[in-house]
Amino acid sequence: MLFAIMAVVVLVIVGVAIDLERGVTADTRLQASLDAAALAGAKALENSATTDDEVATIARAAFAANLATGHSDVTCSQADVTIDRETGRVSVDSDCQVPTTMANLVKVNQMSLVETATARASITKLDVAFMLDVSGSMKGSKLADLKTATSNAIDTLITPSSGDRVRVAFNSYSTSVNAGIYADKVLDLSLLGGKKQTCVSERPGAWAWKDDAPGLKKWLGLGATSCPKSSVEPLSSDAKKLKSEIGKLTANGYTAGHLGVAWAWYLISPEWKDVWPAKSEPHAYDAPNTKKAVILMTDGEFNTEYEKSLGNSAQQARKLCKRMREEGILVYAVAFEAPFSAKKTLEDCAGDATRFFDAGDGEELKAAYAAIASQLSNLALVD
């Protein structure tokens, strides 16, 4: 009698152990299936053209396919998929029921398993500003090459899969910068006496090296009386519009390079968010999964400045570039058939030899812009 009782107890213990082992195996399979589903969903999320429903469908399909390779008697609910586009995270969870074999002798008919998995898409939001030299020396084929190089770079950066997480802005500069429709937000109107002015110079004093929003004692300078016809173009993911505006550029005037540098910074500075349209508001410097870059270029020596006490144009440009780099902005620089002094200024601005390009002709200019766009495009897919 005692042996029979002990035999039953041992049988139950062995049976429960077997069921527990089956449960552990099923739980491992469930977790692996959820991991695969989360990764598949995150990968799909990298394409901005993919809707949330499509991401969820892809994740659920991956979950079902991986789960099917395990125990056939395990039943699971449909995977629940949560998508957070702001952080790029995809979470997948599910619960499963595993029927017991011997544990039902002690009235345990099934085991419940609940697991979750989260994966993050390898995507980075990217704000890029081009500084385009339209001084008189750029007339003719040089300006045509610049338009082509910039337009091609935009096509590399902004694609159907990048959506609005990659945005591009640009300013054209010569004797100064044309603030266009944004002039009223950056100039002290009380000093204009009712006159309309869109050409701007640098801020006086210490504010020249900062990206604080325009305002009391921080207004842009009024010293410039000549500037390009083309205005600044704030951040946009509309490649067609950006390329259309670039196509309208004309060349004339001198080379106030430091103003081009400053405005490249302003276009991607979060401090200037109230100046630009809502869709063009730059991301915060510390925003997660976000990078910022400027692409500077010139074909000549920086030779025009307004606040003499701040140094010449090249000196001011170097200080501005240093400040941008301190904010974590990637500074790329392209010298286009430029003299040594201009090359040195841009090389110092980049602060890294790998981000300085010396283009000796139009083809090399296009190649330089293609290389920069490729680097930034890859950056937008790797956190």
What is the residue type of 191?
A: L
Distance CA 250, CA 75 (A): 68
**pLDDT tens digits for range 68-121:** 776 567 788 888 999 988 777 899 998 888 877 655 555 556 778 888 889 877
52-67 vs 2-45: helix crossing angle, rounded to 10: 150
Which of 276, 267, 258, 270 lies closest to 202, judged by CA? Answer: 258
- The pairs formed by 193-199 with CB atoms below 8 angstroms and a separation of 24 or more are 197/222, 198/227, 198/231, 199/175, 199/224, 199/225, 199/226, 199/227
Calpha distance 294→130 (Å, rounded):
6
The mean pLDDT value for 234-253 works out to 97
Residue 317 has what pLDDT?
98
- Name the band, by pLDDT with cuts 50, 70 and 90, for residue 10: very low
pLDDT tens, position by position, 26-43: 788 788 888 888 888 888
Helix residue spans in the chain (DSSP H): 2-45, 52-67, 141-157, 183-186, 239-247, 257-268, 313-326, 340-350, 362-379
* Rounded Cα–Cα distance for residues 237 and 166 (Å): 6
What pLDDT was estimated at residue 65? Answer: 86
Q: Return the structure tokens found at 149.
A: 């190089």
> How confident is the model over 244-251, as a mean pLDDT?
98
Q: Is the pLDDT of residue 382 over 70?
A: no
Candidate from 52-66, 242-256, 314-328 with smallest mean pLDDT: 52-66
The C-alpha atoms of residue 206 and residue 267 are separated, in whole angstroms, by 20
Going by their DSSP bridges, the two strands 125-133 and 110-120 should be labelled as unpaired
2-120 and 125-379 have identical folds: no
Nearest to 162 by CA among 91, 237, 236, 101: 237
Q: What is the 3-state secondary structure (H, E, C) of 38-79?
A: HHHHHHHHCCCCCCHHHHHHHHHHHHHHHHCCCCCCCEECCC
Closest by Cα among 94, 101, 111, 109 to 33: 94
Contact at 8 Å (CB) between 346 and 313?
A: no
| Rounded (5°) CA angle 174-175-179 | 80
Task: Report pLDDT digits (tens) over 112-147.
Answer: 888 888 987 767 899 999 999 999 999 999 999 999
Q: Is 134 helix (H, G, I), strand (E, B) or coil?
A: coil
pTM listed for this prediction: 0.79
User: Domains of the chain: which residue ranges?
Assistant: 2-120, 125-379
pLDDT value of position 20: 59
Helix (H) or strand (E) holding 298, with range, is strand 290-298
| Contact assessment for residue 83 and residue 60, using Cβ atoms and an 8 Å cutoff | no
Q: Which CATH class is domain 2-120?
A: alpha beta
The mean per-residue pLDDT over the stretch 161-179 comes to 94
- CA-CA distance, 218 to 204, in Å (whole number)? 8
Q: What is the model's pLDDT at position 18?
A: 56
Q: Residue 329 in 3-state DSSP?
A: coil
Q: Do strands 110-120 and 89-99 pair parallel, antiparallel, or not at all (unpaired)?
A: antiparallel
CATH code, residues 125-379 = 3.40.50.410
- Residue-averaged pLDDT of the chain: 89
Rg of the chain over CA atoms, in angstroms? 30
With 70 as the cut, is the pLDDT of residue 308 above it? yes
pLDDT computed for residue 383 by the predictor:
42
d(CA 22, CA 134): 72
SS3 of residue 181 by DSSP? helix
Q: What is the pLDDT of residue 108?
A: 53
User: What's the rounded mean pLDDT across residues 270-278?
Assistant: 97
Q: Are 317 and 365 in contact (CB under 8 A)?
A: no
Sign of the CA dihedral with 353 first, then 354, 359, and 360 last: positive
What digits encode the pLDDT tens for the residues 289-301?
899 999 999 999 9
Q: Is the pLDDT of residue 307 over 70?
A: yes
